[in-house]
């Protein structure tokens, strides 16, 4: 009755799912993870933190609102593969410009749909995130296995070097209003603070929000030496999100350690948070299946307030053995893991989650204000 091109997913533990292909045709492999956000697939797909991962969306209908030029978090689709229950090929939204299927095909990203995604998610929940491979067409299990075997494990993997920018640039765009014109809106006129942002795979909305908060943002490649960063005479330094194992980016940890002594305020998000922890002398570990979604409750231990946050991480900061002076400032209420750090003596803080949202709630947006307040206080102290 209906003819569709088949496709299959093989997991490291031998579980096989057969469904059908969408997006690009071919083969792919990566760490298979799941995201529980109901909205925001376009932001997820373009988030550089997903580099090297095959993302499964738990929400069954993906593609409802198509894709547009604005809701992107980087210049390209980043995921290694995409798995959904049902791919919607005809979008309905006043901002839609293209279908998800066509967009992924152009981007060369392989998709698998029509499988029991809930069964897959339950498998990942129990056994942990693991490698997997997808082949489109009548995929033989041996071929899937071969592709899977060629994929290195996530631990110890430096994916940052794949996603960081090639050279330094200045970011100027603010948030584009939803019902506004096509062009990105320039940020507010007054730029009170100069921020150097390490690009470990930065999401654009972080940069947009820094601009909205009156920052001039100089984005530098991940391996930029500390001295060069300080050469910009920044009011603050930002450590971005990014993919892979934080322990594998030793160069970044070294640079941050050097910057800690400068006294310049420092703010880290996600991978940036983990790198800050490692630079301070703490340790990180891999979570079984991580936190990926837009509904993760976090408590600010300082105020007791709860914020619903967007998260995307497979590694976490170990609370035990944090160096003297470092404090756990936020915890994830679902499992008690560390969600934020600050410091008794240093003007630094970081969070494991994504205050820039996209996708997700805006509850944690106050952290950008906290960063500018810190820069303001630091500037006053300096002057």
Partner 1 sequence: MPRRSDIQSILIIGSGPIVIGQACEFDYSGTQACKALRREGYRVILVNSNPATIMTDPDTADRVYIEPITPDTVARILEAERPDALLPTLGGQTALNTALALADAGVLDRLGVELIGASVKAIRKAEDREAFKEAMESIGLEMPRATLCRSVADVQKAAEMFGFPLILRPSFTLGGAGGSVCYEPALLDRQARAALAASPVGEVLVDESILGWKEYELEVMRDRNDNVVIICSIENVDPMGVHTGDSITVAPAQTLTDREYQRLRDAAIACIREIGVDTGGSNVQFGVDPRTGRVVVIEMNPRVSRSSALASKATGYPIAKVAALLAVGYTLDEIPNDITRVTKASFEPSIDYVVTKIPRFTFEKFPTSEPVLGTQMKSVGEAMAIGRTFAESLQKALRSMEIDRYGLEPLIGDVETVRAKLKAPHPDRLYYIADAMRLGLTDADIEAITAWDPWFLRQIRAIVELEGAFAGLPAGTVSRADLRTMKRAGFSDRRLAALRGTDEATVRGWRHALGLRPVFKRVDTCAAEFEAHTPYLYSTYEDECEAAPTTNRKVMILGGGPNRIGQGIEFDYCCVHAAFALSEAGFETLMVNCNPETVSTDYDTSDRLYFEPLTLEDVLEIVHVEQPMGLIVQYGGQTPLKLAQDLEAAGVPILGTPPDAIDLAEDRERFQRLLADLALRQPVNGIARSVEQAVAVATQVGYPLVVRPSYVLGGRAMEVVQDEAGLLRYVREATRVGNDRPILLDHFVDRATELDVDCVSDGETVVVGGVMQHVEQAGIHSGDSACCLPPWAMPAEVVAEVERQTIALARALGVVGLMNVQFAVRLVDAPEIYVLEVNPRASRTVPFVSKAIGRPLAKLGALVMAGAKLADLGFTAPIIPPYLSVKEAVFPFTKFAGVDPLLGPEMKSTGEVMGIADDFPTAFLKSQEAASQRLPTEGCVLVTSADEDKAEFVALARRLVDLGFSLMATRGTGAALTAAGMTWAPINKEYEDGDTTVRAILDGRVQLVLCTTKSPALISQSRKMRRAALQRGIPYSTTLVGAAATAAAIERLRAGDVPVRALQDHHARLTP
Of the candidate residues 5, 61, 141, 152, the single one contacting partner 1 (CB under 8 A): 61
Characterize the bridge pairing of strands 326-332 and 338-343: antiparallel
Which x/- pattern, by CB under 8 A, does the window 199-238 give for partner 1? ----------------------------------------
Structure tokens, 86: 């049902």
Distance CA 29, CA 363 (A): 35
According to DSSP, residue 173 is labeled B
Q: Minimum CB separation from partner 1 for residue 209, in Å?
A: 13
| Residue with smaller CB distance to partner 1, 188 or 227 | 188
Binding flag, residue 59, partner 1 (CB under 8 A): yes
Distance CA 335, CA 293 (A): 14
CA dihedral 175, 176, 177, 181 (to 10 degrees): 160
Q: Minimum CB separation from partner 1 for residue 32, in Å?
A: 14
Among candidate residues 184, 152, 158, 119, the one with its CA nearest the CA of residue 31: 152
Binding flag, residue 111, partner 1 (CB under 8 A): no
Distance CA 111, CA 237 (A): 37
Distance CA 67, CA 99 (A): 6
Binding flag, residue 97, partner 1 (CB under 8 A): no
Binding flag, residue 60, partner 1 (CB under 8 A): yes
Among candidate residues 361, 305, 313, the one with its CA nearest the CA of residue 331: 305
Which residues pair with residue 340 across a beta bridge? 330, 351
Distance CA 360, CA 352 (A): 14
2 φψ region: left (φ > 0), alpha (ψ -120 to 50), beta (else): beta
Which x/- pattern, by CB under 8 A, does the window 264-303 give for partner 1? -----------------------------xxxxx-x----
Q: Point out the catalytic residue in the list 215, 270, 307, 343.
A: 270
Active site residue 356: yes
Which x/- pattern, by CB under 8 A, does the window 5-44 give for partner 1? -----------------------------x-xxxxx-xx-
Can you say whether the dihedral through the CA atoms of 125, 127, 131, 132 is positive or negative?
negative
Q: Minimum CB separation from partner 1 for residue 34, in Å?
A: 8
Binding flag, residue 381, partner 1 (CB under 8 A): no
Binding flag, residue 71, partner 1 (CB under 8 A): yes
Q: Which of residues 145-204 bind partner 1 (CB under 8 A)?
A: 178-179
Catalytic residue set: 270, 354, 356
Residues that bind partner 1 (CB under 8 A): 1-2, 34, 36-40, 42-43, 58-61, 64-65, 68, 71, 85-86, 88, 90-95, 115-119, 121-122, 125, 178-179, 293-297, 299, 304-306, 308, 333-335, 357-362
């Amino acid at each position: 009755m209906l003819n569709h091109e088949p496709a299959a997913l093989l997991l490291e533990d031998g579980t096989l799912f057969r469904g059908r292909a969408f997006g690009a045709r071919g083969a792919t492999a990566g760490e298979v993870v799941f995201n529980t956000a109901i909205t925001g697939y376009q932001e997820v797909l373009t988030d550089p933190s997903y580099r090297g991962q095959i993302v499964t969306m738990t929400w069954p209908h993906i593609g409802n609102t198509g894709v547009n030029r604005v809701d992107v978090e980087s210049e390209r689709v980043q995921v290694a593969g995409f798995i959904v229950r049902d791919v919607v090929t005809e979008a309905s939204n006043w901002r839609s410009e293209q279908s998800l299927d066509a967009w992924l095909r152009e981007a060369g990203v392989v998709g698998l749909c029509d499988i029991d995604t809930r069964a897959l998610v339950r498998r990942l929940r129990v056994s942990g995130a693991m490698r997997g491979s997808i082949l489109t067409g009548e995929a033989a299990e041996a071929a899937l296995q071969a592709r899977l075997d060629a994929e290195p494990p996530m631990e110890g993997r430096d994916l940052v070097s794949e996603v960081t920018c090639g050279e330094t640039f200045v970011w100027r765009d603010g948030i584009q209003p939803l019902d506004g014109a096509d062009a990105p809106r320039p940020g507010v006129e007054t730029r009170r603070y100069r921020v150097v942002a390490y690009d470990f795979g930065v999401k654009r909305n972080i940069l947009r929000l820094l601009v909205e908060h009156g920052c001039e943002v100089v984005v530098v490649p991940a391996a930029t030496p500390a001295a060069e960063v300080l050469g910009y005479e920044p009011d603050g330094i930002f450590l971005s999100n990014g993919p892979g194992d934080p322990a594998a980016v030793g160069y970044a940890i070294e640079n941050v350690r050097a910057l800690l002594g400068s006294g310049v305020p420092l703010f880290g998000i996600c991978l940036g948070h983990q790198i800050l922890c490692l630079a301070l002398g703490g340790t990180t570990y891999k979570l079984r299946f991580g936190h990926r979604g837009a509904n993760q409750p976090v408590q600010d231990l300082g105020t007791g307030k709860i914020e619903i946050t967007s998260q995307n991480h497979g590694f976490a900061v170990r609370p035990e053995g944090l160096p003297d002076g470092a404090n756990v400032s936020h915890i994830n209420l679902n499992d008690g893991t560390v969600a934020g750090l600050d410091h008794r003596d240093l003007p630094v803080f970081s969070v494991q989650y994504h205050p820039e949202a996209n996708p997700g709630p805006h509850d944690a947006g106050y952290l950008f204000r906290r960063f500018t307040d810190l820069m303001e206080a630091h500037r006053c102290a300096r002057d």
